[in-house]
Amino acid sequence: MRAFGSVGGLPRTIASARGAYVTDVDGIEYVDLVGSWGPALLGHAHPEVVEAVREAASRGLSFGAPTEGEAELAELVIDRMTVGATRAVEKVRLVSTGTEATMTAIRLARGATGRDLLIKFAGHYHGHSDGLLAESGSGVATLGLPGSAGVPEPIAGLTLVLPYNDLDAVRAAFAAHPGRIAAIIAEAAGANAGVLVPDSGFNAALVDLAHAAGALVILDEVLTGFRVGPAGWWGLDPSYLPDLVTWGKVLGGGLPLAGLGGCAELMDRLAPLGPVYQAGTLSGNPLAVAAGIATLRLADADVYARVDAAAARVSGAVDAALTAAGIPHVISRAGSLFSIAFRSEPVRDYTDARAQDAFRYAAFFHALLDAGVAPPPSVFEAWFLSAAHDDESLERIEAALPAAAAAAAAS
């Protein structure tokens, strides 16, 4: 993902980052639109987050024992995931990466149902554990890979990969494998093959279909969680209840932290209370927890309003520049996340996302980079704004876009 695999050239080696900017080892500053692939909701190196980490470090780096911070962060998450009278999660387990969070959620779903099969959607990314790389998004999509070498067929065969936004395919899968499907895992809104917006009511329908078949739903909010709103994508339409939710990225405010949550009855099946094993030497690391607490405490309504406004402004400016250059394109937007697809029709699934003039993105990307603006180095990645993107940084992006669109048109 960092290697400029689809746009060519050498990735910049970053020396430091602050607010909306990253600076490379040659001292060149870029307006950053990657945000560490999501965590930097507040912008880079927010002084209060850095201070919280410094203070935590002064008390010790890792204890391998419970801390008050873990409980405090879990309570913050549970509070956020309570909208009106609806409480989406009652217990939280902290891990270090999104990959671990989804891996554990799947093991828990299998342990709870006694079933083996898993449904995932093409173009969705849930980390790099063995069963989840088939037709995966993110770097797997950027590099055009069907999956990964090194995954034994019996493991890959336990994952049923379905087209996104296709409830008939979900119904057909349950009909074809009665009593065998443990869970559906879905990104709350797809954001790893470009942005794939779920149809209205799609996530709720997944829950209905799964429950009717005795299966569970794992809502993967690793990327969307605490970014598109205080309670993630789920909080924008809390009309349904997923069984398990996973988080990462913003949860750790830039340090390695992720988690999963669900109702107590399900979460209590995790060891040591239950038989589903999970553990991690650095899980709930005190520095990461301190960064997470500080980040969630700072991410108030004003922060979300600023991030949303910045995303609207940049996506609007991208749209206008590409239109002015006469390039067929659509902008997909899910809350403050957006991406470009070089095609005329909307993008609903991974097949659509791949059916575009993706080659145009390389010229567009490099023209922006040359102008001191760093968008994600793949057309299959979302653009990440932050509350630190102020007028000055946004104007720099706007100023760079017309030449970048012209370069894309000429490519």
* Active site residue ranges: 125, 220, 249
Cα(221)–Cα(225) distance, integer angstroms: 4
Q: Does 315 bind ligand PMP (CB under 6 A)?
A: no
**Beta carbons of 241 and 207 less than 8 angstroms apart:** yes
Instruction: Tell me, residue by residue from 152 to 191, as one string, x for binding to ligand PMP by CB under 6 A and - for no binding.
Output: -----------------------------------x----
Residue pointed to by tokens 């988690």: 259
Q: Given the complex with ligand PMP, which of 101 and 400 has the nearer CB atom?
A: 101
User: Can you tell me which of 126, 360, 366, 396 binds ligand PMP, judged by CB under 6 A?
Assistant: 126
User: Can you tell me which of 19, 43, 123, 127 binds ligand PMP, judged by CB under 6 A?
Assistant: 127
Q: Given the complex with ligand PMP, which of 251 and 363 has the nearer CB atom?
A: 251
At residue 178, φ and ψ (nearest 5 deg) are -60, 135
Specify the stretch interacting with ligand PMP by CB under 6 A; choose among 92-100, 280-288, 344-352, 359-367: 92-100
User: Can you tell me which of 21, 30, 37, 247 binds ligand PMP, judged by CB under 6 A?
Assistant: 37
Q: Given the complex with ligand PMP, which of 130 and 319 has the nearer CB atom?
A: 130
Q: Does 229 bind ligand PMP (CB under 6 A)?
A: no
At residue 380, φ and ψ (nearest 5 deg) are -90, 10
Q: Does 354 bind ligand PMP (CB under 6 A)?
A: no
Q: Does 192 bind ligand PMP (CB under 6 A)?
A: yes
Q: Does 198 bind ligand PMP (CB under 6 A)?
A: no
CA torsion sign, 117 to 123 to 127 to 131?
A: positive
316: which residues sit within 8 A by CB, 6+ positions away? Answer: none
Q: Does 99 bind ligand PMP (CB under 6 A)?
A: yes
Specify the stretch interacting with ligand PMP by CB under 6 A; choose among 97-105, 171-179, 309-317, 347-355: 97-105
Q: Does 248 bind ligand PMP (CB under 6 A)?
A: yes
Q: Given the complex with ligand PMP, which of 187 and 398 has the nearer CB atom?
A: 187
Compute CA distances 407 → 123, 185, 195, 376, whole Å: 28, 39, 23, 17
Q: What angle do CA 259, 22, 400 make, to 5 degrees?
A: 115
Q: Does 259 bind ligand PMP (CB under 6 A)?
A: no
Structure tokens at 206: 């997944």
Q: What is the DSSP string of 123-147?
A: T----S-GGG-TT--THHHHTT-SS
3-state helix/strand/coil string of 299-362 = CCHHHHHHHHHHHHHHHHHHHHHHHHCCCCCEEEEECCEEEEECCCCCCCCHHHHHCCCCCHHH
Q: Given the complex with ligand PMP, which of 43 and 248 has the nearer CB atom?
A: 248
Q: What's the count of helices (H) and strands (E) in the chain, helices before strands?
A: 13, 15
Q: Does 286 bind ligand PMP (CB under 6 A)?
A: no
Cα(137)–Cα(144) distance, integer angstroms: 9
Q: Report DSSP state, residue 204.
A: H
Q: Does 384 bind ligand PMP (CB under 6 A)?
A: no
Name the residue number minimizing CB distance to ligand PMP.
98
Q: Does 332 bind ligand PMP (CB under 6 A)?
A: no
Closest to 117 measured CA to CA, from 101, 100, 94, 134 = 134
Q: Given the complex with ligand PMP, which of 37 and 174 has the nearer CB atom?
A: 37
User: Can you tell me which of 6, 138, 283, 295 binds ligand PMP, judged by CB under 6 A?
Assistant: 138
Q: Given the complex with ligand PMP, which of 255 and 267 has the nearer CB atom?
A: 255
Binding site for ligand PMP (CB under 6 A): 37, 97-99, 102, 125-127, 138, 187, 192, 220, 222-223, 248, 258
